[in-house]
Amino acid sequence: MLFPKSNAHRDIVDCSGVWDFRPDPEGLGLKDGWGDGFESTHECAVPGSWNEQLQEFDLMNYVGGAWYQREVHIPHHFDGKQVFLRVGSADFESKLWVNGQLIAENDLLCLPYDGALDGYITPGEKARIVIWVNNEQRYQSITPGVAIDDYIREQRIRDEQFPATRPDFFPYGGIQRPVLLCAIPRVHIADVTLDTHIDGSIGLLTVRAQVNAPDGGQLKVAVSDGQVETLPIVEGNAVAQFRIEDCRFWSLRDPYLYDVSLELEVDGTTVDSYALHAGVREITVRGRRLYLNGEKVFLRGFGKHEDFPVHGRGLNLPLMVKDFGLMHWIGANSFRTSHYPYAEEILDYADRKGVLVISELASVNLDFRIADEETLRNHRRTLERQIARDKNHPSVIMWSVANEPGYLGEEEYQGEASHHYWKNLCDYTRELDASRPVTVANVGRISTNDPSFHYVDIVSINRYYGWYDMPGQLDRAAVRLQKELDDIAAEHDKPILVLEFGADTIAGAHSTTDQLFTEEYQARFLETYCDVIENHPNAIGTHVWNFADFRTAQNHRRVILNLKGVFTRTREPKLAAFRLKERWSVPFVFGSEA
Ligand code: BDP
Give how far Cα 345 sits from Cα of 46, 341, 350, 389, 436, Å: 16, 11, 9, 12, 21
Alpha carbons 123 and 72: distance in angstroms, whole number? 11
- Give 136 or 499, the one with higher predicted confidence: 499
Alpha carbons 22 and 39: distance in angstroms, whole number? 8
- Comparing C-alpha atoms, which of 202, 205, 236 is closest to residue 221? 205
Can you give the CATH number for the domain in which 550 is found? 3.20.20.80
* CA-proximal residue: ligand 1, atom 6 (nearest): 168
- Give 36 or 164, the one with higher predicted confidence: 36
- What one-character-per-residue DSSP string does 169-234 give? S----EE-S-EEEEEE-SS-EEEEEEEEEEETTEEEEEEEEEE-PPBTBEEEEEETTS-EEEEE-B
* In a shared domain, residues 457 and 338: yes
- Ramachandran region of residue 554, left (φ > 0), alpha (ψ -120 to 50) or beta? beta
The answer to whether residues 253 and 354 touch, using CB atoms and an 8 Å cutoff, is yes
Alpha carbons 453 and 490: distance in angstroms, whole number? 12
Active-site residue, from 360, 404, 520, 534: 404
* In a shared domain, residues 244 and 288: no
Mutate to test the pocket of ligand 1, among 340, 365, 404, 563 (most ligand atoms within 8 A of CB): 404
Domain that holds residue 449: 283-584
- Ramachandran region of residue 182, left (φ > 0), alpha (ψ -120 to 50) or beta? beta
- Is 159 among the domain residues? no
- Is 162 among the domain residues? no
Residue 404 appears among annotated catalytic residues: yes
Mean pLDDT, residues 350-356 taken together:
98
Distance 504 CA to ligand 1 centre (A): 11
Can you give the CATH number for the domain in which 271 is found? 2.60.40.10
Distance 168 CA to ligand 1 centre (A): 6
Q: Which residues pair with 96 in a beta bridge?
A: 104, 131
SS3 for 567-581 is: ECCCCCECHHHHHHH
Alpha carbons 231 and 228: distance in angstroms, whole number? 10
* In a shared domain, residues 125 and 223: no
- Is 4 among the domain residues? no
Mutate to test the pocket of ligand 1, among 166, 545, 555 (most ligand atoms within 8 A of CB): 545
Alpha carbons 24 and 33: distance in angstroms, whole number? 13
Average model confidence (pLDDT) for the chain?
95
* In a shared domain, residues 345 and 461: yes
* In a shared domain, residues 348 and 256: no
Ligand 1 atom nearest to CA at 504: 13
Question: Which of 254, 278, 302 is where one domain is finished?
Answer: 278
* CA-proximal residue: ligand 1, atom 8 (nearest): 168
pLDDT attached to residue 370: 85
Helix and strand counts by DSSP (H, E) for the chain = 10, 32
Alpha carbons 378 and 382: distance in angstroms, whole number? 6
Instruction: Please report which confidence band the pLDDT of residue 474 belongs to, taking 50, 70 and 90 as the band edges.
Output: very high
* In a shared domain, residues 333 and 207: no
Distance 124 CA to ligand 1 centre (A): 50
Can you give the CATH number for the domain in which 28 is found? 2.60.120.260
- Give 69 or 147, the one with higher predicted confidence: 69
* In a shared domain, residues 274 and 130: no
Alpha carbons 61 and 47: distance in angstroms, whole number? 18
Residue 545 has pLDDT above 70, yes or no: yes
- Is 594 among the domain residues? no
* In a shared domain, residues 213 and 308: no
Mutate to test the pocket of ligand 1, among 161, 551, 562 (most ligand atoms within 8 A of CB): 562
* In a shared domain, residues 339 and 261: no
- Is 323 among the domain residues? yes
* In a shared domain, residues 404 and 360: yes
Alpha carbons 15 and 72: distance in angstroms, whole number? 7
Rounded-to-5 percentages of helix, strand, coil across the chain: 25, 35, 45
Distance 558 CA to ligand 1 centre (A): 11
- Is 591 among the domain residues? no
The answer to whether residues 95 and 50 touch, using CB atoms and an 8 Å cutoff, is no
Instruction: Please report which confidence band the pLDDT of residue 165 belongs to, taking 50, 70 and 90 as the band edges.
Output: confident
- Is 414 among the domain residues? yes
* In a shared domain, residues 353 and 386: yes
Alpha carbons 452 and 350: distance in angstroms, whole number? 28
Residue 263 appears among annotated catalytic residues: no
The answer to whether residues 326 and 345 touch, using CB atoms and an 8 Å cutoff, is no
Q: What is the pLDDT of residues 489-522, one digit of tens each?
A: 999 999 999 999 999 999 999 999 999 999 999 9
Residue 151 has pLDDT above 80, yes or no: no
* In a shared domain, residues 213 and 359: no
Question: Which of 226, 243, 278 is where one domain is finished?
Answer: 278
Residue 138 has pLDDT above 90, yes or no: no
Give how far Cα 203 sits from Cα of 290, 293, 378, Å: 19, 10, 36
Q: Which amino acid is at 402?
A: A
Alpha carbons 81 and 116: distance in angstroms, whole number? 11
Residue 155 has pLDDT above 90, yes or no: no
Ligand 1 atom nearest to CA at 444: 12
Q: What is the pLDDT of residues 182-222, one digit of tens each?
A: 999 999 999 999 999 999 999 999 999 999 977 779 999 99
Mean pLDDT, residues 370-380 taken together:
92
The answer to whether residues 546 and 568 touch, using CB atoms and an 8 Å cutoff, is no
- Comparing C-alpha atoms, which of 353, 361, 349, 348 is closest to residue 433? 361
Radius of gyration of the chain (CA): 24
* Domain total in the chain: 3
Question: Which of 153, 184, 215 is where one domain is finished?
Answer: 184
- What one-character-per-residue DSSP string does 336-388 give? E-TTSPPPHHHHHHHHHHT-EEEEE-S-BS--TTT--HHHHHHHHHHHHHHHH
Q: What is the pLDDT of residues 296-347, one digit of tens each?
A: 999 999 999 999 999 999 999 999 999 999 999 999 999 999 999 999 999 9
Active-site residue, from 263, 344, 500, 534: 500
Judge residue 351's burial from the number of C-beta atoms within 10 Å of its C-beta, 0-12 exposed, 13-18 middle, 19 or more buried.
Answer: buried
SS3 for 12-67 is: EEECCEEEEEEEECCCHHHHHCHHHCCCCCEEEEECCCHHHHCHHHCCCCCCCEEE
Ligand 1 interacting residues, C-beta cut-off 6 A? 167-168, 339, 403-404, 462, 500, 545, 562, 564
- Is 155 among the domain residues? no
Q: What is the pLDDT of residues 9-59, one digit of tens each?
A: 999 999 999 999 999 999 999 999 999 999 999 999 999 999 999 999 999
What's the pTM value of the predicted model, to 2 decimals? 0.97
